[in-house]
Structure 1
């Protein structure tokens, strides 16, 4: 049996400790990401609900534009008002769609960041496993 190099073992144990610290930091980052994702998913749902409600409003107003019994000034006045509403409504829908898309993009970015952190944790765990094996072999 050879001489045990306690300095090398201490150095390796320091590396193990460093990896555990890295895992703790990555786990905290994942928790923070999860909190952000929960808020974003809730916001996405809310925006989706608003988009649906606005679509229903548009449908109900569009029905008003298709009134064959309307004639003359009443029809003409409504037509002018309808055109302004339609343009404003379309702009509102585009803005909501862009907002929804931005939320989806941020969710994807955070999910990818979480996957990166999980991969890093896996790598650290593999390093800890390898170092533990090496330390055990040094002690035998």
Structure 2
């Protein structure tokens, strides 16, 4: 009888430990799921920002081409001649065109950085997904152990 009583105490102690472990794993799983959901929202916002920046870049490139075309032989140079014409052509060819080029290059850099962050977050979510599955497996094993101890 004393042996049976010691066995019962051991089972009750292990049952309490298993329940505590299960609770701890459930909390960790919930935290990882929450982090994954936060990352998904960030990814969606970043994708939207990337699309907007790519539209801006496309528009800037169109303006850049228009300016280049406007200063070609068929554009501004045929409309008037003189010092003002030379100044305008010089400004457009020199400063404005290079500003558009710098602007589109910088947009490329920002889009690349956004793509890098999207990839980082997606990779983190893949790892979180693995962690969630692993923790779910541990919880499942503990649920089985708890059932066994309760029988």
1:80 partner SS? helix
1: CA distance, partners of 2:65 / 2:97: 11
More displaced stretch, 118-127 vs 35-44: 35-44
Rg larger for = 2
Instruction: Spell out, residue by residue over 1:102-127, the C-alpha distance to the aligned partner (whole angstroms, 9 max, x if none).
Output: 11111111111222211111110010
Q: Which blocks of at least 5 consecutive residues in structure 2 are unaligned?
A: none
Q: Does 1:59 align with 2:65?
A: yes
Q: How many residues align?
A: 139
Distance in 1 separating the partners of 2:66 and 2:112: 26
Residue 130 in 1 paired to residue 141 in 2? yes
The reply to whether residue 45 of structure 1 matches residue 51 of structure 2 is yes
Aligned to 1:22: 28
Deviates more, 1:29-38 or 1:75-84: 75-84
Separation in 2, partners of 1:33, 1:50: 25
* C-alpha distance in structure 2 between counterparts of 1:94 and 1:68, whole Å: 27
Aligned equivalents of 1:28, 1:68: Cα separation in 2: 60
**Which 4+ runs in 1 deviate beyond 6 A?**
none
RMSD between superposed Cα atoms in Å: 2.1
**Normalising to structure 1: TM-score of the pair?**
0.86
Match of 1:93 among 95, 101, 104: 104
Counterpart CA distance in 2 for 1:136 and 1:37 is: 41
Any gaps of 5 or more consecutive residues in structure 1? none
Q: Which moved more, 1:112-121 or 1:128-137?
A: 128-137
Q: Which one has more relative contact order, counting CA pairs under 8 Å at least 6 apart?
A: 1
CA distance in 2, matches of 1:77, 1:68: 17
Q: Does 1:107 align with 2:113?
A: no
Deviations 1:53-95 (A, max 9, x none): 1111111112112225837646643441112112212111111
Partner of residue 12, structure 1: 18
